[in-house]
Amino acid sequence: MEILQIILWIVYPYFAIAILGMGLVWRFDDDVNYIENPPYSVRASKILKCTVKSLLLLSLFSGISVFIFRSITNEPLLLFYWFVSLVQLNPDMDLIMNISILSRTHLLFLFTFLTMTSLTSYITYLIKPHLYIKNRLIK
C-alpha cells in the first residue's frame, strides 16, 4: 500500500472526525466569548466562510452525481461497508480502492468540508440545521 493511500483513507477520515468533535466541544464551551471576541479578522472570516460554502457546494454536487451514477456499480454498498469498517476502527483499504474516483473525490470533499466547518460559526448548524433555515428566512 502506498503511504498516500494510507493517509487519505485511514488517517484523514479519523483526523476530520476528531477535528469536528473538538470544534463542537469548543464551540459550545466558548460560545459567548467567541461571539464577543472572534479569534480572527473579518477578512479571514469571510475567506473561511467562502471556502466552507464552496466545499459544501462541491460535496453536494459530487454527492448528487454519485447518486445519479449509482446504478453502474454497487458503490453505495461498498461505501457503507467502508464506513462500517471505519466505525469498527478496522478500515478496509480494499473496499475504498474498488469504488470509482468520483466517490473517492466526494469523500475527500466531504471530510474537508467537515474539517473546515469546525473552524467557523456554521458548526452549530450541523447539530441544529433548522436554525440556519430560520436565520436565512428572517434575512
User: Tens digit of pLDDT for each residue in 26-72?
Assistant: 776 555 555 555 566 777 778 888 888 899 899 999 988 888 877 66
| 119 within 8 A of 50, measured Cβ to Cβ | no
Note the pTM of the prediction, 2 decimals: 0.79
Find, among 127, 130, 80, the residue nearest to 103 by Cα: 80
DSSP assignment of 10-62 equals IIHHHHHHHHHHHHHHHHHHSHHHHHHS-SS-HHHHHHHHHHHHHHHHHHHHH
Separation CA 137–CA 29 (nearest Å): 27
Domain that holds residue 42: 3-138
Number of independent structural domains in the chain: 1
